[in-house]
Structure 1
């Protein structure tokens, strides 16, 4: 099963963008995953290819029309398509690594990129859209958010990263932020590598990394509950 992403956007030229480079790009070229970007305006019926209209009740900006979006979604995701339909919006549930892993293990996704003031609310229920938020910020449109989501998913597809375990020991993989990393040179501007990392004692290194991950999580993300350890005492050096 190949992970297949379909993007519904007013700017299909933005894709694959950065996903066409580095490991994601190699995976795309190698057929490990697939991507298509569809122009929403192609599903408008008037000669101006209108996709938006003024908001009901008044107010600034424009709102993307439900009927145009419905035709675009139906074309991209006909009956029987098992892929979830996502709407990138700051009103959505926060994207988590757990949700990313679930998406990466599935058949792909159909991703709707909103613009203007947003989309007609009726399309969310009418086409069973899962509203997804990538952060407490407002972007010009859903395209940048879609790229972020896809990057997070694609890197977990088997064969994309050099080593599968690279996706296991990282931030959020076990409910913690990742521990700090070091490499050569041994000393940099008077700062050395922690002695424990050059000790060769793997059990001690594991305890140090766990302690550092817990400390970073408590200090930087107090909203994340620190999961219980496996019983191995921790140490910080």
Structure 2
């Protein structure tokens, strides 16, 4: 998989990809991530990427020209499955979206800033709009990092245990059940006996029941469908 991220703050984005699972995936050649500074595609001496709104109003708007130049250059070099715009009014990211995108080959992510991008960018270039929640950030970079992490960890070979991602919360529409590790008894706080029984069919049934109860308690909205 190749991910190209268009941003005005590439330095803000780089650190998450220089550590942990993301770095391991990049070093293993399972994914490549490339940052493109939008100011490199401007045509004036000030490297302007934004201007005032037509019709008046507070806040600046990212201009279409540098975005067009950047996306067009990338598309001239390879085909892309999706051109994603990170925006508060996009589709809210969930596990299903992460699963779908993890199976793609090449992705472009455009990070918004200010009041957002000229609407013509969204009309002409963007194939998918994604939000990471109902709140506004200073820019789309942190959202892009979250999206990348949610996608990359699902690529086969990235996680040490291939089945680990399959048992995450939301994969089956439920939250994950409680989990425990050693010691079995800590200050009198003990692990449920079923988990040390060795009866794996009963353990799986217990986990299913706990996941359902956990979801009912914390996220009943997930059960509405």
TM-score normalised per structure 1: 0.90
Q: How does 1:1-40 map to 2 (within 5 A)?
A: 3-40=1-38
1:86 equivalenced with 2:75 (yes/no)? no
Query: Hey, what's the Cα distance between the residues in 2 that align with 1:189 and 1:113?
Result: 49
Unaligned runs of 5+ in 1: 228-237
**Where do 1:1-237 residues align within 5 Å?**
3-78=1-76, 81-225=79-223
C-alpha deviations, 1:142-166, integer Å up to 9, x for none?
0001000101111111111111101
RMSD, matched Cα: 1.6
Q: Which consecutive aligned stretches of 4+ in structure 1 deviate over 4 angstroms post-superposition?
A: none
- How far is 1:14 from its partner? 2.6
The offset of 1:79, in angstroms, is 7.7
Give the drift of 1:59: 2.2
Note the C-alpha offset of 1:124.
Answer: 0.5
Whether the 8 Å CA contact 1:87–1:111 is kept in 2: the answer is: yes
Q: How many residue pairs align between the two structures?
A: 225
